[in-house]
Structure 1
């Protein structure tokens, strides 16, 4: 049984080890809803949430809102977030409590403090430090743009004293203070392999972990002609874990901040399959056929990376299923989307699945989202204005 109650109004504000244990209980909520209200009943569990809209006052600063706002990071206190701005190669700081742009931190593309022309990822750290990965490498620098440490992957050795095999390392993050650990996802697309490398900056050594034990990367690589379209592998972190997760399968691999393997989480979702069916049939021989295979996968499930809610001690994860029309726009890879159903999975601190709900207000799970003040914040581009949909669960 599922019941949804709608009450729409305008916001006035501007601004593996396998864990299959479930908790079934009745959760009563008594909330004053300011904008929209939803009630979802799942068996004996009732979940309610409100939705509010927050707009950011940019103070006439032109913010870089491209790419679903994936290039942003939050401070530990969830008071500010920092957004990469490739228009002038800088970092823009937004005050999340006052909903306003407050400062920009210029970067240098070249020279002794050069970070490169284009930055792939940004991580905010303690003591006003930032970590970036760019086309010329990874760097730790202060908020004045001065390089504190450059991360070098070419020199370290593994436990046998051998140099690291170098593949494309698309994502990186750091942890630690006295001994910085750099976590990098290492892709060998030719052989369909993906690894997690953990670099100890102090020891100049690297540990490598296989992060595709169920072939969730290998089995979903689409190849045709000279083209390769690999699935995404998510890399995320919080104070508890460094997390690896996959785009089309729901397992989550957990490592501690020191770079040691902890466990693999698997669970049985009710709203989507736990894993998409891998492409089958004849070998892919054309772009059109590859698009059809990719469409079939997206019609089943796509998972995003979990985020940690430090206030309510839980993890939140978006996933989605899509349906498509028969029409294409120009020479697009996929037909037009008919409907996208976005779901939110809620876990406890040990990654036991608590509940799942459909979020009608979202039409895309490929967005930057995070938890702040016990609520889910989802970044939005409102006609070139930065804003958020804020879900109080």
Structure 2
């Protein structure tokens, strides 16, 4: 009788342990991911789109109803209705003069009242939708190293403007092993707040240049990894390709924290090394291949329809020679509002990198050229 009682108790304990294990086991919501792809074409009416090299930088209204981009020659602000799939308007902007942007736009953001913060290699300013400058953002901030403060390219090359807070977030370029920082610049007062973001050193750790000479000509060869600074769901998210973790800035507090995301099926950071200097092109190309075939994490985007964050990842495998095509592996990750991992998977069947992609209504839109017309491949993910 005592033996039977002991066996029954052990069975009960084992049963409870099993239920606890099942309840705490993390479910991968992307494990059985399926998707379909539709191609849509934007109606340009009597006009046509001048985008020989793709869309370039893009912006969106808050509801993702309008896509905004610039045609370059001549420079025109182009607006597309993504719900009706038709061209709304084109507005010519000036490259030179009192409202001049410069020859090329490097980045821009669109604000809630159709204001634009436009950055080029020579200027940084706010514009109205008619192409008129309303505020100069290219300020020389006070209280920092004077050489950096006066070096526009190094100070503002990774900048995002916050229309609600009227301030700029930027990662100034620092050579060598200098500490990585996030600057918060208030243009009106020229005040700067500096926040350390040491993990972003991974960008420079895996970026290299190599010079080759042919007669009097010098060619610059480069490989590097991407970093991202995005405003999503009320936060500024600062991430880099070599790591799953990222920094989150709360604009209400001007405080930054590192969030260490831990996936289960893929590496969370790179475990490779590359040379600091190169004596021959073959070794340089070998390290380049090594970097791009790692899982390169991409920007984190908020999906308001599912109330979760979505993120792509990419592995690139170069061909044996420059003439051989590259192959790719594309991954999808999902996180909840606190950045707990909800799902992770390799997307089977995608053989090309999504071009100029963005998320709208829970779907991935990738720009495509359809018989010289602007089109989008729209991926509908079911999970």
Give the TM-score normalised by the residue count of structure 1: 0.79
Q: Indicate the residue corresponding to 2:64 in structure 1.
A: 78
The answer as to whether partners of 1:225 and 1:286 remain within 8 angstroms in 2 is no
The answer as to whether partners of 2:300 and 2:309 remain within 8 angstroms in 1 is yes
The answer as to whether partners of 1:68 and 1:366 remain within 8 angstroms in 2 is no
Q: Indicate the residue corresponding to 2:118 in structure 1.
A: 132
The answer as to whether partners of 1:129 and 1:142 remain within 8 angstroms in 2 is yes
CA-to-partner distance for each residue in 1:250-302, whole Å, 9 max, x for gaps?
Answer: 22211123572332222233453222233346842233322210101111211
Q: Indicate the residue corresponding to 2:202 in structure 1.
A: 216
Q: Indicate the residue corresponding to 1:34 in structure 2.
A: none
Q: Indicate the residue corresponding to 1:353 in structure 2.
A: 341
Tell me, yes or no, if structure 1 residue 102 matches structure 2 residue 96. Answer: no
Instruction: State how 1:164-183 maps to structure 2 within 5 Å.
Output: 164=149, 166=151, 167=154, 169-177=156-164, 179-183=165-169
The answer as to whether partners of 1:137 and 1:152 remain within 8 angstroms in 2 is yes
CA-atom RMSD in angstroms: 2.9
Question: Cα–Cα, structure 1 residues 272 and 368, in superposed 2: closer, same or farther, change >3 Å?
Answer: farther
The answer as to whether partners of 1:157 and 1:206 remain within 8 angstroms in 2 is yes
Tell me, yes or no, if structure 1 residue 392 matches structure 2 residue 380. Answer: yes
Question: Cα–Cα, structure 1 residues 229 and 296, in superposed 2: closer, same or farther, change >3 Å?
Answer: closer
The answer as to whether partners of 1:83 and 1:93 remain within 8 angstroms in 2 is yes
Bigger radius of gyration: 2
Match of 2:293 among 289, 294, 299: 299
CA-to-partner distance for each residue in 1:168-197, whole Å, 9 max, x for gaps?
Answer: 5323221144x4111122112455664322
Report the structure, 1 or 2, having the larger helix content.
Answer: 2
In the alignment, the residues of structure 1 paired with residue 253 and residue 196 of structure 2 have an alpha-carbon distance, to the nearest angstrom, of: 13
In the alignment, the residues of structure 1 paired with residue 53 and residue 280 of structure 2 have an alpha-carbon distance, to the nearest angstrom, of: 27
Question: Cα–Cα, structure 1 residues 282 and 362, in superposed 2: closer, same or farther, change >3 Å?
Answer: same
Instruction: State how 1:219-298 maps to structure 2 within 5 Å.
Output: 219-225=205-211, 229-258=223-252, 260-280=254-274, 283-298=277-292
Question: Cα–Cα, structure 1 residues 382 and 191, in superposed 2: closer, same or farther, change >3 Å?
Answer: farther
Question: Cα–Cα, structure 1 residues 94 and 183, in superposed 2: closer, same or farther, change >3 Å?
Answer: same
Question: Cα–Cα, structure 1 residues 287 and 190, in superposed 2: closer, same or farther, change >3 Å?
Answer: farther
CA-to-partner distance for each residue in 1:48-86, whole Å, 9 max, x for gaps?
Answer: 433322221223544343555341111001111101111
The answer as to whether partners of 1:53 and 1:389 remain within 8 angstroms in 2 is yes
Give the TM-score normalised by the residue count of structure 2: 0.81
CA-to-partner distance for each residue in 1:79-117, whole Å, 9 max, x for gaps?
Answer: 111011112111100000011111012111122211112
Runs of 4+ in 1 over 6 A off after TM superposition: 160-163
In the alignment, the residues of structure 2 paired with residue 232 and residue 26 of structure 1 have an alpha-carbon distance, to the nearest angstrom, of: 27
Tell me, yes or no, if structure 1 residue 93 matches structure 2 residue 79. Answer: yes
Match of 1:122 among 108, 114, 118: 108
CA-to-partner distance for each residue in 1:130-152, whole Å, 9 max, x for gaps?
Answer: 11101222111111111111113
Question: Cα–Cα, structure 1 residues 205 and 242, in superposed 2: closer, same or farther, change >3 Å?
Answer: same
**Structure 1 residues without counterparts, runs of 5 or longer:** 1-21, 28-39, 330-334
Q: What is the CA-CA distance between 1:236 and the residue it aligns to?
A: 1.3
Question: Cα–Cα, structure 1 residues 376 and 87, in superposed 2: closer, same or farther, change >3 Å?
Answer: same
Question: Cα–Cα, structure 1 residues 325 and 93, in superposed 2: closer, same or farther, change >3 Å?
Answer: same
Question: How many residues of Structure 1 are paired with residues of Structure 2 in the alignment?
Answer: 348
